[in-house]
Structures are given as C-alpha cells and as structure tokens.
Amino acid sequence: MSRRTTPRIVGIGGTVRAGSSSELALRFSLKAAEEEGALTRLIAGEDLVLPMYAPENRREDPRSQRLVELLREADGVIVASPGYHGSLSGLVKNALDYTEDMRTDERPYFEGRAVGSIVCAAGWQAVGTTLTALRSIIHALRGWPTPVGVGINTSTRAFDENGDCLDPAVAGQLRLVAKQVVEFARLRSLDAEYAPPLARAAATR
C-alpha cells in the first residue's frame, strides 16, 4: 500500500452454504472494516469452489484469477473458516494455496499485510486447534496475524437471520479484528510514504 488513503481489505471464507456462521462472521467483520474507512471485497460461497490448486497442472479459471488479483491489490486480509475435524475446511485451505501464484511478486504471498483470523466450530476444542492452524498458515505466508483472533463456538446460535451478532462479546472481537487489520494497513501506508524521504534525509547528514 503506497500513498493510498482507503485501505483495501479482502475477506476470504465461509462455506458453500449461504448463511453459514463463518460467512456471517466474515461479513460482520468486513462491515466493521468499512466503518473504519476501508474498501472491502468478499470471496465466499460459490467463489470458493475453485479447481484444486496444482501448480504443475494450472487450469485457467476466472474465479481463481479474480481471487489472486484481489489479493495482489489487498492492503489487508481477513480469513474465516469453519472448523472441520480440528482444522480448516478444504475450500478455505485451497483458496489460500492460490497465493502460491504470488510467490514472485514484489510483495510475495501476504508480505507486509495484516491478516485477521476468524474460526467457527461446534465446540471449543475445534475452535482452538483450527485457530492455531490458521494463524500458523498466515505466518508461513509471511503475513502478520492480528493480535486478536476470533473463535466462535457455534454450539449456541451466534447470529440472527439478518446477520446481526447475538453475542456482544463476539461482536466486539469481530470489530476489533477489522480495526487492527485496517490500522496496520494505514501504518504501512505511512511507512511507504515517509520512509524513502527519511532515508534520503539521513543519508545527507
């Protein structure tokens, strides 16, 4: 992000089922990011149904191309996954695997970007293991996991039919993740704008 006043935040997650808890949580957090002044884009539902990532046998696919293009332009990312058998869903992991197409970019993978983590699972054990796995993947992709990661136990209802969060504590965490991603993006923008002039000034001393 360079001299950009409006951070671009991309949300990835959910399931192919409309109205899943992980998609509702992601939408809630992206809305909070917009309230912080960000421009957001969502990859969810059918957009997650991508060809299995296989670098040795790449297939042209408009949805995967759009995913990679949005991530290249992103100043921050929020990922929301259901907990399947103690870890991320295959759909979300496959989408993240497409960042391999960014390996030779000037900003490879999630380099220099904050990444928020949201996990929904029917029980705290799966919440914990999935959140740990997601944050480890973000590290491997050179991203900066936000200090706050949100775990939602869906054994009790978390959202109503309008997508409003029924638990004030969870709502606060989802807003905080969004705020941390947006604030980090703005700080990186300041670095990009002022670091070169400061370096030149220091060199002339």
pLDDT digits (tens, 9 = 90+) for 74-110: 999 999 999 999 999 999 999 999 999 999 999 999 9
- pLDDT over 70, % of the chain: 90
Q: Are 120 and 17 in contact (CB under 8 A)?
A: no
How far is the CA of 177 from the CAs of 11, 53, 114, 161, 171, in angstroms? Answer: 12, 28, 10, 23, 10
Q: Are strands 76-82 and 39-43 parallel, antiparallel or unpaired?
A: unpaired
Residues 6+ apart with CB under 8 A from 179: 32, 33, 36
Joined tokens for residue 94: 């496959």
Amino acid at 67: L
Fold of 8-203: Rossmann fold (3.40.50)
Is the confidence at residue 204, as pLDDT, over 60?
no
Is the confidence at residue 197, as pLDDT, over 60?
no
- Cα 164 from Cα 180, distance rounded (Å): 21
Q: Are 116 and 98 in contact (CB under 8 A)?
A: no
Handedness of CA 29, 32, 33, 38 (dihedral sign): positive
CB atoms within 10 A of CB 191: 14
pLDDT band at 3 (very low <50, low <70, confident <90, very high): very low
CB atoms within 10 A of CB 39: 14
Is the confidence at residue 123, as pLDDT, over 70?
yes
- Cα 134 from Cα 169, distance rounded (Å): 21
Q: Are 32 and 178 in contact (CB under 8 A)?
A: yes
Is the confidence at residue 1, as pLDDT, over 60?
no
For 150-184, give one letter per residue: b (16+ CB within 10 A) or e. bbbbbeeebbeeeeebeeeebbebbbbbbbbbbeb
